[in-house]
Amino acid sequence: MRNPAATRSGYRLLDHTADMGIVVFGPTVKGLYEAAAKALAELLIEGPAPEEVQRLSLEIEGEDRADLMVNWLREILYLWAAKSLWLLETNVEHITSKRLSATVRMAPYDPTRQGIKTDIKAVTYHRIQVRRTTAGWEATVIFDV
Amino acid sequence: MEITLKRIDAYRWEIPATGKMRVPGIVYADDSILEGKEQNEPLQQVANVATLPGIVKASLAMPDIHWGYGFPIGGVAAFDWEEGVISPGGVGYDINCGVRLATTTLLKGDIATRLEDLVNALYRYIPSGVGSTGSISLSVSEEKKVLRQGSRWAVSQGYGEEEDVAHTEEKGCLENADPDMVSPRALERGRKQLGTLGSGNHFLEVGFVDTVYDETVTRAFGLFEGQVTLILHSGSRGLGHQICDDFLVRMTKSSKKYAFDLPDRQLVCAPLRSEEGTAYFNAMACAANYAWANRQILLHRSREVFYRVLGISPRDLGMRLVYDVSHNIAKKEIHVVDGKSRVLCVHRKGATRSFPPGHPELSPAYRAVGQPILIPGDMGRASFVLVGTQTAMEETFGSTCHGAGRVLSRKAAMKKSKGRSIHRELEDQGILVRWTGRGTLAEEMPEAYKDVSKVVEVVHGAGISRKVARLKPLAVVKG
């Protein structure tokens, strides 16, 4: 757990009876979305990062910042669920309230070296929030597990 | 917002229609189920659903009510087919998550010495766990056949018998399924997962009939005391999740043109008669059919394991499907409301259909007594067989509960399990467990769930389904 008032990005878990949630924070909106993607990746997989990576360019849209966050994380989750690719690093290159473009470095999942931590099945709209704070930006996201 | 509940009787409570609610909420529960602050959020969800356009009579909640996405789990809501809406949140991510119960001619004592071999073989030969893939790899055109045909596809490929199809809700196929409404992403996710159990609370359980409550119906269902049974709980895997996601995105985009005033984004919906509404209904049907095909394959594979391990013939095993029910689905059904016959879209999310004796949808084997209903418990406690009633048709659009919800979060369950060996505790009770995934057993331990017998007592007491038999577990495989 990191100090949300600091200038770094990070996240903390929300304990929930039925599912799993996170509160993500970052000094900038770009940092927030990057931190959210990394948080999802950390919750999904554990293990050493492989050497072989794929670079992908992603273009994501949304009706507003919250919808954009859900669609962004949905894309990361889809790459994992359908293609067994997990996120190592991301750079959000451009972001508005309804659109973002990013480069992601993905690695193929290797069950002999990595393990699945959490079976996250979907990114939900439940309690979805993206908001400014005095320290920067904060978002709440609930995952279906 | 604190929700006001008005008691109607021992098992029924009303949330009076206030504010933007178009109909009241009706909750089936007893006092103990409604205790605790954590019930306020799901009750608020019942009230939220009551605001949706075209909702008929009431927003209903079964006694296993707990928090869900938009609609509560344990929620039932019916919408006028012409004027109402359809909502992916009213079905759930795992479209046609459901349960099937099969019986055998064997008694508990017949398998006692082979139980460990049996559960080890089931664990080995039935793929389970996160992202598990099966041995059935489909081409796109074959996958579309699965989506169109459901259980029938599985039987045509040699996975089971015609009687299995007859004993499946909707005969294992919603005919309105349209694979052209299913995205390439959803097809991609479904292609390698057919014949897999899944993960989380999905399971396969060998058990036995422990108690008979209703002799006549038990006999009609082909059950008897001490009989070895098999329960399968699984859904539409990644395909269903992707379809739900795809339509949440699509309906969120199209919601502007309908200008619905939604109290919760996750209630996003579309008119049933709209292009989006029709597309979702027909894509949802594809996922439903996939799940039925999947459960049919899992049943048949389980039969083959039993033959091999026990060294007996199909005739001597006599593994017969009693019934397969869905508990996450939306159906086009005719119901009588205020004396008039109406065509409705009934959403059941964490709720099971409960059709009465005489209903034309039921197969001849069950028409005299009513529809079998299967209510799975957690892996340490009992499951129940119930039967459908006329009271359910009159009050809940022919619906009842589906199981028991979680009472501990995954984190709390992991904490409570520290220093304990859950599988040893279960073995001490005579229950063998096999599982995949590091945290699965702790997260899914019996104490993490409510006691399903309390849920069953409420629906039985309210008359929306009736107890027939109780089953107890002997061996469980969890994904």
Q: Are B197 and B184 in contact (CB under 8 A)?
A: no
Q: How would CATH label the architecture of B6-478?
A: Alpha-Beta Complex (3.90)
If DSSP codes are grouped into helix, strand and coil, which group holds residue B344? strand
B89 pLDDT band, cuts 50/70/90, is very high
Q: Could you read off the pLDDT of B114-151 as tens digits, one per residue?
A: 999 999 999 999 988 766 777 788 999 999 999 999 99
CB distance from B438 to chain A under 8 Å?
yes
CA–CA separation, B170 and B216 (whole Å): 24
Q: Are B186 and B246 in contact (CB under 8 A)?
A: yes
Q: What integer is the mean pLDDT of A87-92? A: 95
Q: What integer is the mean pLDDT of B206-220? A: 98
CA–CA separation, B256 and B262 (whole Å): 11
Q: In the predicted model, is pLDDT for residue B413 greater than 90?
A: no
What are the sequence ranges of the domains in chain B? Answer: 6-478
How many pairs of residues across A and B have Cβ atoms under 8 Å apart? 80
Least confident of A4-13, B8-17, B247-256: A4-13
Q: Taking a contact as any Cβ pair under 8 Å apart, which residues of chain A between 107 and 126 contact chain B?
A: 115-119, 121-126
Q: Are B333 and B316 in contact (CB under 8 A)?
A: no
Q: In the predicted model, is pLDDT for residue B269 greater than 90?
A: yes
φ, ψ at B142 (rounded to 5°): -70, -40
Q: In the predicted model, is pLDDT for residue B458 greater than 70?
A: yes
How does the average pLDDT of chain A come out, rounded?
90
Q: Are B331 and B177 in contact (CB under 8 A)?
A: no
Q: Which residue of B has its CA nearest to A142?
A: B69
pLDDT at residue B131, rounded to an integer: 65
Among 3.90.1150.10, 1.10.10.10, 3.55.10.10, 3.30.390.50, name the CATH number for the domain at A10-144: 3.55.10.10
Instruction: Give this complex's ipTM.
Output: 0.90
- Which residue in the set A119, A123, A125 is minimally distant from B130, CB to CB? A119
Q: Which residue of B has its CA nearest to A46?
A: B438
Percent pLDDT > 70 in chain B is 97
For B150, which DSSP code?
Answer: T
CB distance from B450 to chain A under 8 Å?
no
Q: Which residue of B has its CA nearest to A129?
A: B265
Q: Could you read off the pLDDT of B156-207 as tens digits, one per residue?
A: 999 999 999 999 999 999 999 999 999 999 999 999 899 999 887 789 999 9
> Chain B contacts of A78, Cβ < 8 Å?
185, 242
Percent pLDDT > 70 in chain A is 93
DSSP string spanning B36-55?
SGGGHHHHHHHHHHTTSTTB
Mutation for testing the B interface, residue in A64, A79, A121, A130 having most B CBs under 10 Å: A121
pLDDT at residue B443, rounded to an integer: 77
What are the sequence ranges of the domains in chain A? Answer: 10-144
B405 pLDDT band, cuts 50/70/90, is confident
> Chain A contacts of B249, Cβ < 8 Å?
71, 74
pLDDT at residue A90, rounded to an integer: 96
B407 pLDDT band, cuts 50/70/90, is confident
- Which residue in the set A15, A18, A122 is minimally distant from B67, CB to CB? A18
Q: Are A60 and A72 in contact (CB under 8 A)?
A: yes
Kindly name the residue from B241, B402, B423, B460 that is annotated as catalytic.
Answer: B402
Q: Cβ contact (<8 Å) for B265 and A15?
A: no
The minimum CA-CA distance between A40 and chain B, rounded to whole Å, is 16
Q: Cβ contact (<8 Å) for B67 and A124?
A: no
Q: Cβ contact (<8 Å) for A63 and B94?
A: no
pLDDT at residue A2, rounded to an integer: 45
Amino acid, res. A66: A
Q: In the predicted model, is pLDDT for residue A5 greater than 60?
A: no
Q: Cβ contact (<8 Å) for A116 and B131?
A: yes
pLDDT at residue B438, rounded to an integer: 63
Instruction: Work out the number of other CB atoms within 10 angstroms of the CB of residue B442.
Output: 18
CB distance from B269 to chain A under 8 Å?
no
Q: Cβ contact (<8 Å) for B93 and A15?
A: no
How does the average pLDDT of chain B come out, rounded?
93
Q: Cβ contact (<8 Å) for A63 and B411?
A: no
Q: Taking a contact as any Cβ pair under 8 Å apart, which residues of chain A between 18 and 77 contact chain B?
A: 18, 20, 63, 66-67, 71, 74
A3 pLDDT band, cuts 50/70/90, is very low
Q: In the predicted model, is pLDDT for residue A1 greater than 50?
A: no
Least confident of A51-55, A99-103, B407-411: B407-411
pLDDT at residue A18, rounded to an integer: 64
pLDDT at residue A50, rounded to an integer: 77
- Which residue in the set B188, B238, B266 is minimally distant from A126, CB to CB? B266
User: Is B460 part of the annotated catalytic residue set?
Assistant: no
Give the residue from A60, A40, A59, A46 showing the smallest Cα distance to A124: A40
pLDDT at residue B439, rounded to an integer: 67
Residues sharing a CB contact under 8 Å with residue B71, sequence separation 6 or more, in sequence order: B45, B49, B77, B87, B89, B90, B92, B267, B347, B349
DSSP string spanning chain A?
---TTSSS-EEEEEE-SSSEEEEEEESSHHHHHHHHHHHHHHHHEESPPPS--EEEEEEEE-SSHHHHHHHHHHHHHHHHHHH-EEEEEEEEEEE-SSEEEEEEEEEE--TTT-EE-----EE--TT-EEEEETTEEEEEEEEE-
